[in-house]
Amino acid sequence: MILDERRVVFVRRIMLWASLAGLFVSTYLLITYVTNGPIVCGVAKGCDIVRNSEWATSFGVPRPLLGVVFYVAIIALLVWRAAYPHTRVRAVYRLSMIAVTIGFIESAFLTFVQAVDIKAYCVWCLTSAVMATILFVAAWWDRSRAFEDRTALRELAIQFWSLMAAVIVGGVLILVLTVPWTDGERPRLEPSQIGAAEDERVRSLLERPDVTFEGPATATVTLIEFIDYQCPACKLAHSEILKVRDRYKGRIRFAFRNFPLPVHKAAVGAALGAVCADKQGKLFAYADVLIANQNALAPADLIRYASSLQFDTAAFKACLTDPSTKALVERDLSDGRELGVNATPTFFVGTTMIEGLPSAEQMGQLIEEALP
């Protein structure tokens, strides 16, 4: 009996701490969803993609809000079981089991959606899924039993101090993660320092003589995007970049550089198609079509798009298999890696590198600072 009680105590503590961790994650995500602020995403780099997908809300409700409600409900049930150990024991236990099962199914579904439909991962969503799984597994080791009064009082005290610690630590972390680091009024975009020390070398890699630019040769500011045409984040960024290109038309030069990622099977083929379109003087129109049709980038699709844009189709087909075309794509990849590019989209305003999904306004602020 004592051993069984110890196990239940341990399980419920694990459930409490997992719920507090999940509540922190959901609260942070909810703040970023509501404010549309930047998400610190770590190596996953898919947080903005997930946030901008159709799965980010459920019936108009941000999914992180559902997470907040779920974790608060689990915490409330755990506190109830310690504060009122002999009241409705079986009913509260069953309600807890139902709640953790729903949370587990929802988290598993969202993880599946990220893998299959969105094809990008939010590290915070995955963390929440882990917490929901821990709750689900732990709940099956729980029991529909009441604590002795002394045990219940001790657990209630542990819950109180755990909650206080979570409020303090979680509050500080959320402030650190959500309060912007500012340079005047400009949001911080994590500019790389490679341009400051080796400006000429960086420019020589970015602005090779055979790179095609949109805009006047006399423009003093260049905007260059390292792009994977099958990358969902690149598609999200494209509408913002179009705004920038339109707003600063005639004042800046813009160029695409190819950076197909191994995770996207059709990306290399699309990059080859872009190079061939460039050889026919229609790179930017062709790039727009590729980005708009990321789910249809097979070789036959590439040729179909070329035909619709009135390319010399025979020359385009020959170009796709020409070794020199592949060499140009590999050259772009090599330049990107040397410059520190490891994800797409990555932008360069002059020699300043910006990763992620900056808005047109944020990118415009950097351009304004660089313009004479």
* pLDDT tens figures, 150-166: 888 999 999 999 999 99
Beta bridge partners of 214: 254
pLDDT at 185 over 70: no
Residue type, 110: L
Tell me the pLDDT of the chain averaged across its residues.
87
pLDDT at 344 over 90: no
pLDDT at 190 over 70: no
CA distances from 241 to 13, 28, 194, 223 (A): 49, 28, 23, 9
Q: CB–CB of 83/154 below 8 Å?
A: no
Say if pTM beats, i.e. exceeds, 0.85.
no
- pLDDT one-digit tens code per residue, 203-234: 888 999 999 999 998 999 999 999 999 888 88
Minimum mean pLDDT range among 62-66, 204-208, 232-236, 356-360:
356-360
pLDDT band at 189 (very low <50, low <70, confident <90, very high): very low
pLDDT at 242 over 90: yes
pLDDT at residue number 36: 66
- Could you give phi then psi for residue 343, rounded to 5 degrees? -155, 165
pLDDT at residue number 1: 43
Average pLDDT of span 260-283? 92
pLDDT band at 180 (very low <50, low <70, confident <90, very high): low
Q: Which of 146, 163, 126, 135 is nearest to 81 (CA)?
A: 146
pLDDT at 106 over 50: yes
Q: What is the percent of the chain where pLDDT is above 90?
A: 60
Helices (H) and strands (E) in the chain, counts: 15, 8
